[in-house]
Structures are given as structure tokens and as C-alpha cells.
Structure 1
Amino acid sequence: MKKIKQALMMILITILTINVVTVGTVNKVMADATKLNLNARAAYAIDAETGQVLYQKNANKTYPIASLTKVLTLAVIEQDVKSHHLSWNQKVKITPAVAKVANDWHFSNVPLNAGESYTVRQLAESMMIVSADGSAEALALADAGSTAAFNKKMQVVAKKAGVTDAKIYNMIGLANGDLGKNRLKGVKKTAENKFSAQDMALISKYLIDTYPDSLKITKTKFANFRVSANQQYQMININSLLPGNAFAPKNGTIDGLKTGNTDTAGKCIISTGMFAGRRVIVVALHTKGDWNAQSKDAQEFYEKLTDLYQPVQITSLKQLPKNVQSVHVVHAKDKHQTGLKLARPVFIWLPKGTVLNKVDASLKVNHSGQSLTHQLKAPVKKGKVVGSIVLKPAGLGSVKLPVKATNNIEKNGWF
């Protein structure tokens, strides 16, 4: 009888253990389902206007980025068209060296014939729609005369976008040696451009902010490329997230931006579009699986973003905790406190169901010569920006809200 009881006890313990493990596994799956995720070596997602970070993974580490480079190449071309250094209708004659790259089946391309001329617009469109490597090379050489000279221009534009740590070897994103005659001398043939996921988000934001018409190119699904008088090439945009495509998100509209792939970079993508009335930019480097897996992963990311979070507009500090609605002023003659108001309305992404006045909020002042963290020094001028409120919603990046003083406060004569 004792042995039977012991056996029954062991069976009961086993059942309970299985239930605990099962419940634990289910809870983990449920927890994972409530978080944003991208199956990539590195990733970074932001609200394009505010820069609020919506997701990040290894975002500051630099990696090869393949043809994502062409976003920066386009930014340089757009800049030089705007400054009249180039024009969209300008003809670019193809050299034998460029034709060799353009007609190499190992690379992404439209055919380019040596001696044939193509417009800057044709080359830019093919570079972005089908990731034409030869077109990128032709544009850069027409613009700057050499790979090295164009690289310098890329560095300057990258810096304007806030990127200072990038390694740039060419306008395409291929290994240096793949450019043949136009490669950099004295540099390893295996050298590839390296940027972080954050870098590419900043460059993408810069391109869209500064040259919004570039999205007219990146959202084009089909276009003809005139190779010669007797040959047309049908370009089909390789971005599977565009509207009407198999992996188009159901909760928003994608209108860009660029994919890339090399052996070292893996499959990479920058995508952007409007979701909940906000432009979102998502970068994923070295994604897992094939192209369909990459597209499905991005699609699910966007759909989960609006399932879990929502943008909320802040128009008044009365929407926020009271501790950031005014600030103490030291060395004041009479009043020792000033009210604060927003310099401008700001949107912030929040987890759905979040009460705005419960969000972690702190004030950081920027008064000249200020040594105190949360206080101002007199004098204070009404209407002047005196600092920023930093909001830190759970699970998302912080947002800074510039604030102005609502009072004039004179300085005490003793100070």
C-alpha cells in the first residue's frame, strides 16, 4: 500500500511539473507576443518627425549594409541637383568600366551599354527601384569624377544627417574590389561600407526631410528603363511591402525605401511609411531567412506597432504631471517661480491604455551658465525657451518637449 501511495505521489508531482512548465512556456510566448521584435542582427525604428525610438537592437554597432548605401548616394545626388551642379535631364555617358559592372550578372542591375547616354533621373530611378549597381556608379562618377571624390561628398552629407562613425568605400555598397578600375587604390578589395542601424535611420530621415520628392521614386512599383533605341527594360520594385504587394502591412502605407544584400552584409532593409498618421522608419540589418521571411517580419512589426502603441498629441502641459508645469527660479527679485508652456505641440508614441499624466516626466533646463539641474537662474524672459521636458514612456524611447517661460522675472540686485 505504501508503494502504491508513493507511485501515485510521483505521478501527481510529474503532472504538476508538466503543468508548471507548460504554463511557463505559454506565459513566455504571450510575453513575446506583446513586444516588438525584428529577426535581424541589428535594428532601429523611429518616428521620423520626433526621432522617438520605437525599437532597437544592437543599433549603434557598425556592420556592412550592402545597397542600403544607395540611400546616401541618392541624398548626394539630390543635393547636387538642387545646387545645380547636376540636373535631372543631364545625360551621363557610360564608360566601359561602368558597363562592366552594370552587365555583370552577379550584381543587381539594369543593362547599361558602353558609349550610350542616360539621364541622371533614369539612373537615379533604376538605382532605387531595382538597386542598379552600375547606375549608382555612373551617377557618382558623373557627379564627382572618381570614387574617392564621391566618398568625400557622402561623408559630408552623412555628417549633416548626424552620422560621424561610418566607413565609406564606394557609392554602391559592394566590396571595394568589385568596382574594378574604379575601386579605391591602397584599400583592401574586401572592404565594404559599414554603418549602424541608427546611422541608416538618421540618413533616411535626412533624405526624406530634405528631399521629400525622393519618395516618388521609391514608391514606384513599375517603370520602363530605355536601354537603347531598340531595347526597353521593365523595372519591378523589389520592395515587397509596397501597397498591393504580398507583404503590404494592413494598417498603413509603405512608400520606401531600400533593400540590400551581400554575403557579408546579409539581407538588409530600410522601410518607411505612414502608420497612425505618423511616418515611421525601420532599419533591419542582416535579417534571418529568405526575402519572404524578411518581408513577413517587417509586415508583422508594423502591424504589431499599431496594435500595441498609439501616437498621442501633447498640446498643453496640463496633460502632463504637475512637477513639470512650472519651475523654481533662484536669485529672483520678486517672483521665485515661472509657469511653463510648450514651444510647439508634439506627438509621442505610448503603450495603448497609458494615462499621459502618469508617464515618467522630468525637466531639464538650459539657461546660460546654469549649474542647477531643475531650477532656473534669474533673469528669465517670458517666451524664451528655457529647457525641455523629457518623457519616458514604458518600453519606448524618450521624447524631448521644448518649453518656454510664461513670466518675466527680474534678477535680485544682490546677485
Structure 2
Amino acid sequence: MKNYLNSTMIKITLMIVLCMSAFAFNDSKVSAKDEAIDLRAKAAILIDADSGKILYEKNANKAYGIASMSKMMTEYILLDKIKAGEISWDDQYNVSKYAYKISHDTELSNVALREDGVYSVKELYEAMAIYSANAATIALTEVMAGSEKNFLPLMNKKAEELGLKNYTFYNATGLNNKQLKGMQPKGTPEDGENEMPAKYVAKLAYQLVKEHPDMLETASINKKAFAKGTDDEIMMTNWNYMVKGGIYEYKGVDGLKTGSTDFAGQCVTITAKQGDLRVIAVVMDAKEENGDSTYKARFDAAKTLLDYGFNNFKMQEVMPAGYTFKNNKTIAVKDGQKKEVAIEASKAISFIANKNTTYKPKLVLDKKEITAPVKKGTVVGHVEIQGDGYGYIMPVKDQATVVTTDDVQSKGWFVKALGGIGDFFANVGHSIF
């Protein structure tokens, strides 16, 4: 009998374990937030470039050095001014002593500028966007604001307009001020270096691509000659080795900006489009497995993010139009000929969603009861989607309004009056007894 009981207990235990395993298996789907990515970088973020939806992030809210990714801000302001007609691509620039001296520092990314040279805004822009040329960037700040010092307030103003946070701009290039040979913008520290969280680098890139999509035509150029046909001609090779023709070419990559300093490490902001999906990835201070800081490390990390985005996300309808809620199919109606009216979602909700995540619509009512008369289509609340990961780079939500599906007429005045009398005597009765 004892052996029989032991055998029975063992079988019951095994059944419990198997049941628990089955439940664990059925609940194996994970959200983007829990997805494990082997990413050797201090900070990173991946977003959908259309909606700004965050698909993955790591230490994305902490400020780190951004190096030459700073040039995206310089580029943004320039393109704004071009669009507004304040500056023309054909405008000419006479080289300042500052720009000339920096341009001949061979330890920095540069195109050499002649001391008596004259260059078009277009030439300088291409040198900055393709070759990350530091002196060309300084030259553009002088075109736009008279000096790099005067340009800093424009950077800060634009950052404020875009809603960027926790950033510091000490110069327009992203270099450490020590590299500017004592000519850094007056009032900034001798060793100051630009910082920003990955989240806001992505937000800057997101807005830049949204407002000035044509800039990708330049950002995607792999090779182009500067000062072509002159004794100073130099072939510029895009530092973004993931563009078409680059040594780490990745399908669909057409921008955006690399950066590296001792302080910032190896950084890159990449954008790529495959099919209908465009994503933006930001990598900060990437390392090799052995801890080395290399160009390859930043592109390996960027590839990991891009692969994750394109392999795991697609546009999905997570809630159809006309969706009704199991436990809230109606809302109460006060003073109506009907005591309640049916409600439903006004439209479908679709967004770039993780294929491995289950999304649940949540009803949020403005109030528990509405007063007649009620017209069909009256908004009574909205839908929020649960399980959608990190949220958005911009303050937007995937939501649809919840509306009534029928009209409800008011009770007539006589019926209301009778109801009021009935309530009165009912209350009196309670008082007496």
C-alpha cells in the first residue's frame, strides 16, 4: 500500500511539473523590452522612422559623448535656412583663419581648405555630410551665424524646439575643445565635449529625416571628389561604411552619421529602409568582444540592431475597426428611452509591431454614464494598446476613440416628471419607515 501511494504521488508530481511546463511554454512570447540582444555598446536605441515608435533601447536616457553625430544638428539648421531661402547652395565662403588652421590638422577628418580659397555652401555641406570634415563644418557655422560662438545659441534653440533633453553643445563639430587649437567658441571649457542621450540623438535624426528627406541623397554617397579638377582635389570616402559600396554595406542603408573621439568612443546613427519599413539606429561607445574600440565594432552593433528590427517587426493591425470589448459592450444612458447603448472602437489600430508580442486593446471610458439625447458616433472614451514595448520618441499614442453605435432619444418631460415623483415618494417612504 505504501509503495502504491508513493507511486501515485510521483505520478501526480510529474503531472504538475508537466502542466507548469506547458503553461510556461504557452507564455513564452516576450515583448521588445524583454528581448535579449547581444549588443556591445554603452547605449543604443532603435526606432521606426515613420511613427517614432521605439523598438529597442539600452541606457537610452543617459547622456554620453556624441562626437561627430553633433553635425546632424549643424546640418539640420543649414537645411532649414536653405529651405527658408536665407542661404543658397551657391553662396560663396571665404576661408577664415580658424577654418584654415583646423582644415590642415591631418589627425582630424578634414578636407584641406586654401587660405585664400573660396568655396560654395554646397561643397562645404557635402564635405561635412559625407566625409565628416570638421573645418568645413566650422566654415558653415560662419556662413550661418558669423562665427561658431554665435552658432551655438542656434543649436540650443533648435534642440529646444525639437524637445531634446539632457544635452550639451560646446561646439558644432563634436570634437573635444582641446582639438580646436585654443580657438574653441569663447565661453566654453577648454576640454568641453558635446553630450546627449541616445534617445535624443535618435529624435534629432528622426526629425531631420522627416523634415529634410532629400538629405539622404547626400548621406548615401559612398565616394565623391572635393575641389574636383583643382590641385587640392581629394576623394572623400563616406565614413558610414554601411552605405551601398561601403566595406560593411547593408541593404537599404542611406545615412546618417558616424562619430568617434576618445571620450565618446565609436558611435554611429544609421538609417535603413527595407520594403515599407524604415528604421533609425543609434549606437554609442561600441566595443569589440575583447573590449577594443574599433570602427567595425560600431557597425557590428548597428547591424545587430538593424537585423533585429527588420527580422522582428512589421506593420500589423492590432485591433480592427468596430472592435467591441467583452465586458464593456455598452454604456449606461441617463434619461434615455433606452437604459444603455452599444459602443465600439471607431477605427482600426495598426503600427510597427513585434511579431512575437501579443497586444491587448484596453478600454478607457471618459465617464461611466452619458445623458440622453445621444447621437450615433458620440465619443465616450478611447482605446490604449497594452504590451506595445517602450512607447514613442515623440508624444503620440496608438489609440482610437470609442463611440456609440446608435441614437438614443430622451424620455419625454411627462415620463421624466413621473420618474421624479416616484423617486420622491420612494425617499419619503424610506424616511417614514
- TM normalised by structure 1 equals 0.78
| Offset of residue 123 of structure 1 | 0.8
Letter of the aligned partner of 2:311 in structure 1?
Answer: D
2:325 counterpart of 1:322? yes
Residue 402 of structure 1 is matched in structure 2 by: 399
1:60 partner letter: N
Distance 1:326 1:229 in 2: 75
For the residue of structure 2 that corresponds to 1:77, the secondary structure is helix
For 1:161-310, what aligned pairs fall within 5 Å after superposition? 161-180=162-181, 182-226=183-227, 229-249=230-250, 252-289=251-288, 290-310=294-314
Offset, 1:40: 0.7
Letter in 2 for 1:403: A
Secondary structure of 2:243's match? Answer: coil
Conserved? CA contact 1:269–1:284, under 8 Å: yes
SS in 2 for 1:164: coil
Q: Which residue of 2 aligns with 1:137?
A: 138
The answer to whether the 8 A contact 2:343-2:402 is kept is: yes
Q: Shift of the alpha carbon at 1:205?
A: 0.4
Amino acid of the residue matched to residue 306 of structure 1?
F
Secondary structure of the residue aligned to 1:348 is: strand
Structure-1 separation of matches of 2:161 and 2:377: 29
Match of 2:315 among 301, 305, 311: 311
**Do the aligned residues in 1 keep the contact of 2:43 with 2:284 (CA within 8 Å)?**
yes
Shift of 1:324: 10
Partners of 1:153 and 1:327 in 2: how far apart?
53
Per the alignment, do residues 260 and 338 of structure 1 end up closer, same or farther by CA in structure 2, a change over 3 Å counting?
Answer: same
RMSD: 3.2
**CA deviation digits over 1:246-291, x for unaligned, max 9?**
3233xx4111000001110011000001135211000011111311
Q: How many residues align?
A: 367
Unmatched segments (≥5 aa) in structure 1: 1-32
Q: Is the 8 A contact 1:385 1:402 kept in 2?
A: no
Relative distance call for 1:53 and 1:97 in structure 2 (3 A) is same
Q: Residues 134, 347 of structure 1: CA spacing in aligned structure 2 closer, same or farther, 3 A cutoff?
A: same
Deviations 1:341-399 (A, max 9, x none): 23x763222234x5xxx51332456xxxx6x6xx6866988778876533244766578
- Please list every run of 5 or more consecutive structure 2 residues that lacks an aligned counterpart in the other structure: 1-33, 289-293, 417-433
Instruction: Report the alpha carbon displacement of residue 113 of structure 1 after superposing the two structures with TM.
Output: 1.4
- Cα separation, partners in 2 of 1:112 and 1:303, compared to 1, 3 Å: same
Partners of 1:360 and 1:312 in 2: CA distance: 13
Distance 1:401 1:100, change over 3 A: same
Is the Cα–Cα contact under 8 Å of residues 123 and 136 in structure 1 kept in the other structure?
yes
- Secondary structure in structure 2 of the residue aligned to 1:292: helix
After TM superposition, the structure 1 = structure 2 runs for residues 52-67 of structure 1, keeping only pairs within 5 Å, are: 52-67=53-68
Is residue 2:387 matched to residue 1:390?
Answer: no
> Which entry has the higher C-alpha Rg, 1 or 2?
2
Identity value in percent: 28
Partner Cα separation in structure 1 for residue 38 and residue 102 of structure 2: 37
Q: How far off is 1:245 after superposition?
A: 3.0
| 3-state SS in 1 of match to 2:346 | strand
Which letter does structure 1 place at the counterpart of 2:279?
V
Report the 3-state secondary structure (helix = DSSP H, G, I; strand = E; otherwise coil) of the residue aligned with 2:36: coil
> Per the alignment, do residues 303 and 233 of structure 1 end up closer, same or farther by CA in structure 2, a change over 3 Å counting?
same
Structure 1 residue 227: Cα displacement: 6.9
Quote the offset at 1:126 in angstroms.
Answer: 0.8
Question: How far does the alpha carbon of each residue in 1:190-211 deviate from its partner, in whole angstroms, 9 at most, with x for none?
Answer: 1111100001000000000001
- For residues 266 and 401 of structure 1, the distance between their equivalents in structure 2, rounded to whole angstroms, comes to 36
Residue 36 of structure 1 and its aligned partner are, at CA, apart by 3.0
